[in-house]
Chains A and B, each alone.
Chain A
Amino acid sequence: MTALLEATGLIRRWGGLTAVDRVDVSVAQGSLHGLIGPNGAGKTTLVNMITGVDRIDDGRVRFQGDDVTGLASHRLASKGMARTFQTSQLFEDESVIDNVMAGRHGHIRYRFPHTLFYTPRVVREERGHRTEVYAVLRELDLAEDAHRQVAELSYGRRRLVELARAIASQPTLLVLDEPAAGLPGSDVDVLGDVLRRLRDSGYTILVIEHNIGLLMTICDRMTVLSEGKVIADGVPAVVRESPEVIEAYLGRNDDA
């Protein structure tokens, strides 16, 4: 398998703290890759650097064979990276369908002048994208809430809307920052199934998670971060046996 995403020697410093310290991550095409580690390990910072949200102090990122180090996040998005955020970043006052339609942005071909008079071309294209979006909503069991305002939905379903928005952009790489955080146990399993299904239908996914149990069961590969450094990397069965991982996880009382 070839690497879709390859980050090497990434460094990010916050004042005196090196939040991400010479991290290498390689995400294989078509894999479900877990990124795990205790609170403050640097997972979000790492993913923010990869997706162009945060600055890169040192290191390289290659995506689909191109050097994309330091590209702005909207450029990376149009190259096929989509993501969700640890604290959800939805358009709260808007309907589910509008939120998810926004994810289609990069695929819509009509241009600004067409929109001023809603030309037939706009009507036609919008209809097509709407159909695609409904397919995504159905996949995530959100279709019946399509016209509901996001803010009216439960926390768990809002997380699904954010996932739907990312999927709607048909990304080459889907990056998820703790999609299961704050979900009750039964929902975590549902989410696990969703992720596995996405992987099986061809998506490459990099998912951050606190919940080591969830990742162990669904991931093809995982990277473990602790205090900014990679302490283990490999298939779950191997990572599980790593003394560093056992220490990092037994060393603290993780409630997640």
Chain B
Amino acid sequence: MTDTLTRPHSPPVPGPGAERRASLLATMAGAVLLIVAAAVPALTDFSTTYLMAYVLIVALLGLSLHLLMGLMGTFSLGQAALFGTGAYAAVVVSEDVGLDGAIGFVLVAAIGALLGLVMGAVTLRVSDLYLALTTLAIGYILENVVRNTDWLGGSQGLTGFYITFFGRSLDDPRLLCWIGLGVLTLFMIMISSMRRSKIGRAFMAVRESPIAARSIGVDARRYKLLGFAMAGAFSAIAGALYSAWSLVVNPSVFSIDLTLSVLAIAIVGGLRSMPGILVVAALLTYFRNSAADFGVADYVLLVYGALIVLSLRFLPLGLGGLTGSRAVARVRRLVAHRSRSRGGGRA
């Protein structure tokens, strides 16, 4: 019998030094990419810039799912509820309260965080499917409330508003792109910093084993609320940028259509991978935008659905899961497991 407690001879694994080098490299690559991305709006035409702004908005939503589903392990269908609230809140804050976006967006984020908290609190006692359905229901409720509120334009929605940032109108897609890039970078820094701290480990614990999380003193409910509040703030900011981008806000911002496309992006891109989500946000937005050219405009959601199913079946960690040593280790493990079960032995 082998002595399993004592360490077997095995190849060395990358230590903290390698990790630090890798993260330094990633930071530098990120900085270069950011500079390139920031140059794009200045160098290209209006329609490309306009599309890019949309990609950034969708990517922000993808980040909120990265946080909720990828890091915290909570399957939520409430993205549109938070996004839509942010979209309407931005218009109200700008038109009725008269705040400039530089301050107004902070208020919008706070409103989104509050709604996220409510969503988290309502779903604290339920899990999995019920949680997903409850978050979905919150979107439906909000959509119908808005539809029946004249002050918010009813089913026609709101138009003719304009949102400024430091006094400059956001109807300029270049400005929108730069703000979107700034916000995206900020959120990515926040998420990756948080992930390496005790908060990230608490999320990990709640995701992997709630019972173990509590046994090490992690109040699972508190962290769930925190995750929902953050996701709420991120999604609401995405909604605010959306209203500036589209210049029309109507009840369709609460639609399941949006929730599903973001879900597709996050799952295909990789729930645990921010770069994966960014790349797939760009690819799928491009696909959706040119679906008419390919003659598949009617099948966009079908394609999204198929991508979700295929990804869950063959790439549970999405495209982002294809990179990184952990993913490689996981594949190696999977292969080892397969060959073991084929050999008829029991684990």
Contact = CB atoms under 8 A, between A and B. Distances in A.
Interface string A144-171: 1111110110111100100001100100
Interface stretch (A35-43, A61-69, A102-110, A203-211): A102-110
A141 interface: yes
B211 A118 contact: no
A253 interface: no
Interface stretch (B13-21, B34-42, B74-82, B289-297): B13-21
Nearest to B205: A102
Given A102-B201, A105-B201, A115-B198, A186 B3 contact: yes
A106 B322 CA distance: 34
A14 interface: no
A115 B1 contact: no
B212 A118 contact: no
B15 A91 contact: no
A148 B7 CA distance: 12
B214 A105 contact: no
Contacts of B201: 98, 101-102, 105
A152 B204 CA distance: 18
B194 interface: yes
Which range contains the number of A residues in contact with the other chain? Answer: 35 or more
A190 B212 CA distance: 25
A106 B217 contact: yes
A112 B6 contact: no
B302 interface: no
Interface stretch (B47-55, B123-131, B325-333): B325-333
Per CB-CB distance, the 3 closest pairs between chain A and chain B, nearest first, are A156-B4, A77-B217, A89-B212
Interface of B: 1-8, 12-16, 19, 189-190, 193-194, 196-202, 204-205, 208-209, 211-220, 226, 326, 329-330, 333
Interface of A: 51-53, 72-74, 77-78, 82-83, 85, 89-94, 98, 101-106, 108, 110, 112, 114-118, 122, 126, 141, 144-149, 151-152, 154-157, 160, 165-166, 169, 183-187, 190-191
